[in-house]
Amino acid sequence: MHEDEETPHLHAAGGSCSAHGHGHGHGKGVVRRSQKEEREKDSKRLFFALLLTGTIAVAEAVGGYVSNSLALMSDAGHMLTDISALALSLLALWFAGKPADLKKTYGYYRMEILSALLNGVLLLGITVVILMEAWERMQQPAEIRLGPMAVVATIGLLANLGALGFLHQTHSMNVRGAFLHILGDTLSSVGVLLGAGLMALTGWYLVDPIISVAISVVIVFGALKLVRDAVDVLLEAVPAHVDMAVVKEMLQRVQGVRDVHDLHVWTISSGIYALSAHLVVEDPMVCNNDEILSAVKHDLFDRFGIDHTTIQIESESYSHLGEVH
């Protein structure tokens, strides 16, 4: 069956009917248009964020070198990583917009998840480098030129806030990864400014690497969650908002359904969820595939946002035959 078809293939003629049915999508045309529009919005958000980030990254790299501030150089390092992350995110969205074919029946939606996973790993990698440098600075604190440090950090903070404004309104895991990169830089800029003020008052240059460590710890938690979420999607784990017990109970409540087995729910990409299941129905109900599938599809979409369903309907006598190997 072609994936774009909005109605299930059901056969009923001459008093007989098929015991199999596949239900796809509730309002699929509307859903897909919405997904396309959201991808276009995300692309624009990422593009403007990339422009801001690229412009300020050079300034922060130069400012960190001139001021000898590890916190500021950490911020510059994160920004350089952000450029890569934003570019990867844009590339992933471009791939996600490509149509499915006979080899890739789901299209390229998983490119978004792979990009998110790579972004999380990059964040963890750059944080390790910063922590190693911070450890060395703690052993031998270096003098910091506070004027250039504060000026560049202020410019970086304003640029990061602008980029966050572009990226915050999205449900995409891919864009959320880019958002976390920018958020890390924003925290870095705030920490740098606070550190510059404290060092100006006390002359205690150990504050610089301490701030870098504190910022890195915050970023690590966000990166680990992003990596975990991406791995869950790749392992086809149950989406976080779906309770399998509730799903099974909901399916069993549909009129005519006696049992549910081989139930699976997984995430294709951000906001795109799929379900497959076998429904055992009363023998006289087998010919009511249309009504059963329609009720199931509407309930799944309305309650959990699951719009891609594959349902096999079985009579009670068929279910007693056992598994077919």
For 202-220, what is each residue's pLDDT tens digit? Answer: 888 888 888 878 878 877 8
Overall average pLDDT of the 97-116 stretch = 76
Largest CA distance in the chain: 92
Give, in degrees to the nearest 5, the angle at Cα 147 between 142 and 148: 85
Read off the CATH number of the domain in which 275 is found: 3.30.70.1350
pTM for this model (two decimals): 0.65
User: Are 207 and 79 in a shared domain?
Assistant: yes
Task: Evaluate whether residue 290 is within a structural domain.
Answer: yes
Please check whether residue 242 is in contact with residue 273, taking contact to mean a CB–CB distance below 8 angstroms: yes
Tokens in use for 2?
């072609």
State the chain's mean pLDDT as an integer: 76
Among the listed residues 74, 172, 167, the one whose alpha carbon sits nearest the alpha carbon of residue 123: 74
What whole-number distance in Å separates Cα of residue 256 and Cα of residue 91? Answer: 47
Q: Looking at 172, 207, 234, which one is the last position of a domain?
A: 234
Q: Please state which of the ranges 104-108, 170-174, 211-215, 291-295 shows the lowest mean pLDDT.
A: 170-174
How far is the C-alpha of 297 from the C-alpha of 285, rounded, in Å? 17
Rounded Cα gap, residues 156 and 55, in angstroms: 10
The number of domains in the chain is 2
Residues 173 and 150 in one domain: yes
116, 252: one domain: no
Element holding 287 (H helix, E strand): none
Phi then psi dihedrals of residue 143, to 5 deg:
-70, 140
- State which amino acid sits at residue 58: V
Indicate the helix (H) or strand (E) that contains 255. Answer: none
